[in-house]
Amino acid sequence: MNIVNLDSYFKTVRGYDYEDRLFRNLGASLVLATARSEDEIVQASRGCEVILVEHADTPVTKGVIDRLDDCRLIAKYAVGFDNVDVAAATARGIIVCHAPNFCAEEVSDHAVALLLALARRVVQFNNHVRQGGWFDLQVEPPLRRTKHRVLGLVGFGRIARLVARKLKPFGVKILAYDPFLDPRSAEVEGATLVSLERLFADSDFVSVHTPLTEETRHFICARLLALMKPTSFIVNTSRGPVIDEEALIQTLREKRIAGAALDVTEVEPLPASNPLRGLDNVILTPHQAATSVESLVDVRATIAASVEAFCKGYWPEFVVNRDVKPSRPLRSWQEFAQTKDRLARLDDAGQLVDLH
């Protein structure tokens, strides 16, 4: 069996020796590719039953999937899988799996850090002092105490709930919008479910935690941004296209909100000409919210275990398209998880068990 990694993102970060040894133990071979276009992806995937995807912008589209004659599993090294056409994969009997437990701690930490940096103007103060200033920076709007202010969470999944728990000790009131959630589930976390309009109108801080789908693309639009207070801030650590970037830029230019902090943008890397780079009420980080030594270990372990399970005739752990009909019968993940001869696993210290 051949396994291809389409975009080899971690080659310079940690290499692929572990995956190579694991797959060899399974009687498979790993091919590392740097495919970017649809034609390159199809070419790199020929003869490969398993496809690994790391980049958020690698286009595993319907046009690609319809030409994948050998593929039986697509595994995404991430929580989000918006760049994979899941419906097309399902129609072809291809399983799509991902790593939903990956980086929840890191992304929630990053969202909290960005929010507090906005609230306390950390970046503005830092830049001012480095340019020779001291007490002479006029901050508008003026600094406000964080306690008793309102945090609005757009989406209330795993990461948003961690943000709520981490900011609750600061004394903030927490609102949440999630059309798929029972109000009682939010109440357990100390949050109140409200309409999207009320969340944007009442919140001092809006933190975005919704996946990117056709329904959520430009979900946060000019209409919602216009509801925000001139003293409020918005943070996005989910996906760039969830926010209408042109509308956000116009809102920030006109100082209709106090500021924004973005780890993600509509186009990545952010073009040098993008106006966001020149706005002094914006904090930008380069899509690194998910990154830590520990999170990279976690995602590698999850995907490695999913591939091992599939190669041995079991379902992967986190299947996106549960209604898919695979090309061969598969036993349950739970059965695989209990097997004693599993190769992909973590030791007591949370490190990948080395394979010789």
The one-character DSSP state at 47 is T
Active site residue 215: no
The active-site residue out of 187, 197, 246, 268 is: 268
d(CA 90, CA 163): 33
Distances in whole angstroms, Cα of residue 332 to Cα of each of 43, 231, 306, 310, 342: 32, 52, 12, 10, 14
Please give the Cα distance from 205 to 203 (Å, whole number): 5
| 342 labelled catalytic | no
Q: Which two tokens stand for residue 318?
A: 């986190």
DSSP annotation of 56 reads T
148 is catalytic: no
Among the listed residues 72, 161, 239, 300, the single catalytic one is 239
Which residues are CB-contacts of 354 (< 8 A; sequence separation ≥ 6)?
A: 18
Which strand (E) or helix (H) includes residue 89?
A: helix 86-91
Q: Is 230 exposed, middle or buried (0-12, 13-18, 19+ CB in 10 A)?
A: exposed
E strand or H helix that includes residue 48: strand 48-53
Q: Which of 149, 209, 287, 300 is catalytic?
A: 287
Answer yes or no: are the C-beta atoms of 209 and 159 closer than 8 Å. Answer: yes
Using DSSP, state whether 326 is helix, strand or coil: coil
CA separation for the pair 273, 292 (Å, rounded): 29
Q: Three-state secondary structure along 247-296?
A: HHHHHHHCCCCCEEEECCCCCCCCCCCCHHHHCCCEEECCCCCCCCHHHH
Q: Active-site residue numbers?
A: 239, 268, 287
